[in-house]
């Protein structure tokens, strides 16, 4: 089946989607992206992702070239055209093609590119087995709250993890874990308390994290939003990661050392179930379906 993408007003085969070599996304990494999950053919927690998109765009003074309503229509049309049951809808907005000058161009039109990726999220084997994580230095800039397409530090972090046989990298700044290269980071203490770093300019405010913390509160699971060190992570009862493209994966090993029993723990397992339940209900809402 030919994958269909959206680029600047047109639906076309992904292989035919072309942008200018002078596009500022290509030349400067000057753009913003978002990733929304799709489950059973419906969007999951999409309003939260679009809110974060609008905030990120505002922080770099970039205008969305379509309305928010139109953006949702395109997301849904891509789900239909690609017959997507489960996976993600990716979107990115760049400042468009212009002569290579660092400052904002006066007359460039933003580029909007969107596509889908099929992915097994609900029944992912990694959710059952848990994943391994490697710690790396956090090499990123000081506005990690902006979902920038400039992802070189995360690319290097994920590659280092991959070369060590790990699924994810946990980035460490000043001895403190910030987050995963493309996920939010959590510990579970011996008494069942969930610990995660508070939102700030040092991390991306995860949409999955936000929804999960609300669900944890409803489920009377205690949460502490505070900084934590790598040493504390080594001695935690459990650890896990969240993102739109994984929902929640238990972490069973950090830098070659087992976390807790070395198997997915009960709190992570329960929270994944709670999130999956929420995601299924949200994806079934007619407002989130094509
Ligand atoms: N990454 N932290 C970082 C640095 C991320 O890149 C992501 C998401 C998250 C989790 O955010 P959310 O729960 O809203 O997906 C945290 C996406 C999935 C990606 O880059 O593909």
76 is written with which tokens?
A: 């849904």
Closest C-alpha to ligand 1, atom 2: 183
CA–centroid distance, 63 to ligand 1, in Å, is 22
Q: What is the mean pLDDT of residues 4-21?
A: 98
The predicted structure's pLDDT at residue 179: 99
The predicted structure's pLDDT at residue 131: 98
**Which of 182, 199, 241 has most ligand 1 atoms within 8 Å of CB, for mutation?**
182
CA–centroid distance, 184 to ligand 1, in Å, is 7
The predicted structure's pLDDT at residue 191: 98
For residue 213, pLDDT beyond 90: yes
Q: Which residues pair with 13 in a beta bridge?
A: 4
The predicted structure's pLDDT at residue 139: 98
Q: Which atom of ligand 1 is nearest to the CA of 48?
A: 14
As a whole number of angstroms, the distance between CA 139 and CA 151 comes to 11
Q: Quickly state the pLDDT bin for 1 (edges 50, 70, 90).
A: confident
What pLDDT, in 10s, does the model give residues 217-241? 999 999 999 999 999 999 999 999 9
254 is written with which tokens?
A: 């950090």
Q: What is the mean pLDDT of residues 191-209?
A: 98
Would residue 158 show up in a list of annotated catalytic residues for this protein?
Answer: no
| Average pLDDT of the chain, as a whole number | 98
221 is written with which tokens?
A: 């699971």
As a whole number of angstroms, the distance between CA 2 and CA 5 comes to 10
**Which of 206, 214, 241, 282 has most ligand 1 atoms within 8 Å of CB, for mutation?**
206
The predicted structure's pLDDT at residue 126: 98
Look at residues 93, 3, 10, 88 and name the one whose alpha carbon lies nearest to residue 46.
88
**246 CB near ligand 1 (under 6 Å):** no
For residue 201, pLDDT beyond 90: yes
**Which of 132, 147, 158, 210 is an active site residue?**
147
Which residue stretches of the chain are H helix?
24-28, 46-59, 68-81, 125-129, 152-163, 207-218, 230-234, 266-284
**208 CB near ligand 1 (under 6 Å):** yes
What pLDDT, in 10s, does the model give residues 63-110? 999 999 999 999 999 999 999 999 999 999 999 999 999 999 999 999
From edge to edge, which strands make up the β-sheet containing 10-13?
10-13, 4-7, 111-118, 87-94, 31-39, 42-44
The predicted structure's pLDDT at residue 271: 98
The predicted structure's pLDDT at residue 88: 98
Q: Quickly state the pLDDT bin for 245 (edges 50, 70, 90).
A: very high
Q: What is the mean pLDDT of residues 207-214?
A: 98
**Which of 48, 210, 243 has most ligand 1 atoms within 8 Å of CB, for mutation?**
243
For residue 262, pLDDT beyond 90: yes
User: Does the global pTM surpass 0.95?
Assistant: yes
Closest C-alpha to ligand 1, atom 8: 182
Q: Distances in Å between the alpha carbon of 266 and those of 190, 207, 258, 271, 281?
A: 11, 23, 16, 9, 23
In sequence order, what are the residues at sequence separation of 6 or more whose Cβ sits closer than 8 angstroms to the Cβ of residue 190? Answer: 237
According to DSSP, residue 10 is labeled: E
């Amino acid at each position: 089946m030919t994958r269909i993408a959206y680029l600047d007003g047109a639906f076309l085969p992904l292989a035919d989607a072309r942008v200018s070599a002078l596009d500022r996304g290509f030349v400067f990494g000057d753009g913003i992206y978002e990733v929304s999950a799709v489950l059973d053919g419906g969007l999951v927690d999409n309003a939260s992702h679009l809110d974060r998109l609008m905030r990120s765009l505002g922080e770099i003074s970039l205008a969305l070239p379509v309305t928010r309503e139109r953006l949702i229509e395109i997301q849904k049309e891509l789900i239909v055209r690609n017959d997507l049951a489960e996976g993600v809808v990716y979107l990115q907005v760049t400042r468009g093609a212009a002569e290579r000058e660092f400052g904002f161009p006066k007359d460039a039109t933003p580029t909007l590119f969107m596509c889908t990726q099929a992915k097994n999220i609900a029944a992912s084997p990694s959710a059952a087995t848990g994943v391994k994580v490697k710690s790396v230095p956090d090499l990123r800039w000081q506005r990690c709250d902006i979902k920038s397409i400039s992802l070189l530090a995360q690319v290097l972090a994920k590659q280092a993890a991959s070369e060590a046989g790990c699924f994810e990298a946990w980035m460490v700044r000043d001895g403190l874990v910030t987050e995963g290269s493309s996920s939010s980071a959590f510990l579970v203490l011996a008494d069942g308390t969930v610990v995660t770093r508070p939102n700030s300019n040092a991390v991306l405010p995860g949409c999955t994290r936000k929804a999960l913390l609300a669900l944890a509160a409803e489920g009377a699971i205690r949460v502490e939003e505070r900084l934590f060190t790598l040493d504390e992570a080594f001695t935690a009862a459990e650890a896990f990661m969240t993102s739109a493209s994984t929902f929640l994966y238990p972490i069973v090993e950090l830098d070659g050392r087992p976390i807790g029993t070395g198997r997915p723990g009960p709190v992570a397992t329960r929270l994944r179930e709670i999130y999956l339940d929420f995601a299924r209900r949200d994806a079934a809402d007619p407002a989130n379906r094509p």
